[in-house]
């Protein structure tokens, strides 16, 4: 934070932006810089009551600082505050949105598609499920019990029935359980999560697509968190690699640039493989602007006003860091993943901890349980280690997972693995999504082990 390049870069770019409008007569806006300075002092003080999300020792929840170029571009766009509802509200920023979304679709192998930015992953998923409901009214939506909790709520809003499919002990949707649901013949859409929020588990998309051949349904891929891992197949293990390779066969995809894409909040994205679904969005708002004959983004979005600045920030970031395999952006993702694998490796060698059975993390989220006689004690230890880490400026997260996930499971046992209140244990969780986490792993490990020594002795 100390050598922030943004203020200098921004002041130069602001001059250039002002130069674009010099033909206009000058005007004054009444502002009181003294009063503003006071309010901003108070604001800075209030913001100090936060976890230090920008720092590598923040390794808890899914929070990644926006790239400086995204912050600068967002702030630059604030001089205009464009609205990407329509071209009249944001002519340049709508074009930039179209280009940025093409970049994301291209990462998934799509050149012809329909897509746009949304305020969040939740809104992106809502649009995908709304379209799914339009195409198959009255048919059910199903997703793994580890799918994001909002799918159930979204389905309720859309008045579509939603059912949970049990997950196996690595958090993957069970294909046996899915097929049982499919045999009932009323499933319209399967939500496949590439990167669950809790543990970064990757549902077997390729196997779901094979079932689609047999049963016929729509496949929506929720890649809000995990979508960008498509860029680093060489850093993934099977079967996750196979799932990512199949993503271009999805019917719709949601991805959050504000999670792994280095963007400020307010930036989700939804993509549809068939552009013809645009017909469902048709509306006849009497005050919709039509100065342009081209389709405008308000015509293909459920939301009306949207931050043009979010599109500008994303566009600028993708100019600097194109979404190409082997590029700098991809290497940053791979560094976080390497940090996760290394943390998992160290946890496995230390008998104070229990990691998920057999396989290392699939993406960049690590979860582990404290070893104790029973789950109540293990949960209490997790809470205490969490607090002792925080006292050392290391910020982790907590997650409740089925206790059965930590037993060496021989074969899949759906009734054991179905999460139920009685079988949950509190675990520690770390999302190592910053490239800096790799270089900071030793310091993270030192603090974690010191915290454990304090709480558990030894």
Ligand X SMILES: *Cc1c(COP(=O)(O)O)cnc(C)c1O
Residue 197 CB, shortest distance to ligand X, in Å, is 4
Q: Which residues contact 377 (CB under 8 A, 6 or more apart)?
A: none
Distances (CA, A) of 91 to 87, 97, 203, 289, 291: 4, 10, 39, 12, 10
Paired strand residues for 397: 429
82: closest CA among 71, 69, 96?
Answer: 96
Q: Report the residue from 58, 217, 225, 368 that binds ligand X according to the rule CB under 6 A.
A: 225
- Cβ neighbours for 25, distance < 8 A, ≥ 6 positions apart: none
Angle CA 154–155–158, to nearest 5: 90
Q: Is 256 in the site for ligand X (CB under 6 A)?
A: yes
- Give the range of 118-126, 231-239, 330-338, 367-375 binding ligand X by CB under 6 A: 118-126
For 130-169, give one letter per residue: b (16+ CB within 10 A) or e: bbbbeebeebbbbbbbbbbebbeebbeebebebebbbbbb
Distance between CA atoms of residues 178 and 186, nearest Å: 12
Among 174, 197, 355, 430, binds ligand X (CB under 6 A): 197
Near ligand X by CB under 6 A, which window of 96-104, 119-127, 341-349, 409-417? 119-127
Taking CB under 6 A as the criterion, which residues in 317-336 touch ligand X?
none
Task: Order across the sheet with 114-118: list the strands.
Answer: 114-118, 268-272, 252-255, 218-223, 187-193, 140-144, 162-165
Q: Is 417 in the site for ligand X (CB under 6 A)?
A: no
The rounded distance, in Å, linking the Cα atoms of 273 and 219 is 11
Site string for ligand X, 67-106 (x = CB under 6 A): ----------------------------------------
CB–CB of 289/91 below 8 Å? no
Helix (H) or strand (E) holding 120: none
Instruction: Pick the closer one to ligand X by CB: 83 or 193.
Output: 193
How far is CA 35 from each of CA 28, 43, 158, 309, rounded to the nearest angstrom? 18, 12, 47, 26
Token code pair at residue 78: 């604030």
**Residues linked to residue 399 through DSSP beta bridges, in sequence order:** 427
Closer to ligand X by Cβ: residue 197 or 252:
197
| Residue with smallest beta-carbon separation from ligand X | 121
Q: Which is nearer to ligand X, 247 or 385 (CB)?
A: 247
Q: Looking at residues 128 to 167 of the shown chain, list those that interact with ligand X (rule: CB under 6 A).
A: 148, 150
CB-nearer residue toward ligand X: 108 or 353: 108
Contact between 121 and ligand X per CB under 6 A? yes
- Count of positions on this chain that bind ligand X (CB under 6 A): 13
Q: Is 245 exposed, middle or buried (0-12, 13-18, 19+ CB in 10 A)?
A: middle
Tell me the closest approach of the beta carbon of residue 267 to ligand X, in angstroms. Answer: 8
**Measured from the CB of residue 146, what is the shortest distance to ligand X in angstroms?**
9
> Which of 222, 344 has the CB closer to ligand X?
222
User: What length does the chain have?
Assistant: 458
Closest contact distance (angstroms) between CB of 262 and ligand X is 14
Q: Give residues 263-302 in contact with ligand X (rule: CB under 6 A).
A: 268
Provide the total of helices (H) and of strands (E) in the chain, helices listed first.
14, 11
The answer to whether the beta carbons of residues 76 and 324 sit under 8 Å apart is no
Smallest gap from Cβ 223 to ligand X, in A, equals: 7
Q: How far is the CB of 119 from ligand X (least distance, A)?
A: 8
Give the shortest CB-142-to-ligand X separation in angstroms. 15
Q: Looking at beta carbons only, is 148 or 369 nearer to ligand X?
A: 148
Candidate ranges 44-52, 115-123, 234-242, 304-312; the one touching ligand X (CB under 6 A): 115-123
* Listed ranges 64-72, 86-94, 217-225, 371-379: which one lies at the site for ligand X (CB under 6 A): 217-225
Choose the stretch contacting ligand X; rule: CB under 6 A; options: 89-97, 120-128, 305-313, 320-328.
120-128
Binding residue (CB under 6 A) for ligand X from 224, 269, 339, 381: 224
User: In angstroms, rounded to a whole number, what is the distance separating the alpha carbons of residues 420 and 189?
Assistant: 25
* Candidate list 122, 301, 318, 379; residue touching ligand X; CB under 6 A: 122
120 scored as a contact of ligand X (CB under 6 A): yes
Q: Does 188 bind ligand X (CB under 6 A)?
A: no
Site residues (vs ligand X, CB under 6 A): 120-122, 125, 148, 150, 193, 197, 222, 224-225, 256, 268
């Amino acid at each position: 934070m100390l050598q922030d390049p943004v203020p200098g870069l921004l002041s130069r770019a602001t001059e250039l932006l002002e130069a674009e409008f010099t033909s206009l007569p000058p005007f004054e806006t009444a502002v009181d810089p003294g009063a503003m300075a006071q309010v901003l002092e108070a604001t800075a003080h209030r913001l100090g009551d936060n976890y230090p999300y920008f720092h590598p020792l923040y390794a808890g929840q899914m929070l990644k600082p926006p790239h400086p170029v995204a912050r600068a571009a967002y702030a630059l766009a604030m001089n205009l505050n464009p609205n990407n509802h329509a071209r009249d509200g944001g002519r340049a920023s709508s074009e930039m949105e179209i280009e940025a979304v093409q970049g994301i679709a291209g990462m998934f192998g799509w050149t012809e598609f329909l897509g746009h930015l949304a305020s969040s992953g939740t809104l992106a998923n809502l649009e995908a499920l709304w379209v799914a409901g339009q195409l198959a009214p009255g048919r059910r939506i199903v997703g793994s019990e580890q799918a994001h909790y909002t799918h159930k709520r979204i389905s309720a809003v859309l008045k579509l029935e939603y059912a949970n499919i049990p997950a196996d002990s690595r958090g993957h949707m069970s294909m046996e359980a899915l097929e049982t649901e499919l045999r009932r013949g009323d499933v319209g859409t399967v939500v496949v999560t590439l990167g669950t929020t809790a543990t970064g588990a990757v549902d077997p998309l390729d196997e779901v697509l094979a079932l689609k051949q047999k049963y016929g349904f729509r496949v929506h891929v929720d890649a809000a968190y995990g979508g960008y891992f498509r860029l680093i197949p060489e850093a993934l293990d099977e079967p996750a690699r196979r799932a990512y390779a199949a993503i271009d066969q999805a019917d719709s995809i949601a991805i959050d640039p504000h999670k792994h894409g280095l963007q400020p909040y307010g930036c989700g994205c939804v993509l549809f493989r068939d552009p013809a679904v645009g017909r469902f969005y048709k509306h006849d708002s009497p005050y919709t602007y039509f100065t342009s004959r081209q389709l405008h983004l308000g015509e293909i979005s459920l939301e009306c006003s949207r931050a043009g600045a979010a599109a500008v920030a994303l566009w600028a970031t993708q100019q600097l860091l194109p979404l190409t395999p082997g590029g700098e952006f991809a290497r940053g993702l791979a560094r976080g993943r390497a940090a996760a694998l290394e943390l998992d490796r160290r946890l496995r060698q230390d008998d104070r901890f229990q990691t998920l059975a057999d396989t290392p993390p699939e993406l960049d989220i690590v979860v582990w349980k404290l070893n104790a006689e029973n789950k109540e004690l293990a949960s209490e230890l997790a809470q205490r280690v969490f607090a002792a880490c925080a006292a050392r400026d290391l910020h982790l997260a907590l997650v409740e997972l089925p206790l059965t996930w930590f037993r060496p499971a021989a074969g899949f046992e759906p009734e054991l693995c179905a999460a139920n209140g009685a079988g949950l244990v509190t675990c520690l969780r770390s999302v190592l999504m910053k490239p800096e986490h790799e270089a900071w792993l030793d310091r993270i490990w030192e603090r974690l082990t010191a915290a454990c020594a304090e709480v558990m002795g030894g």
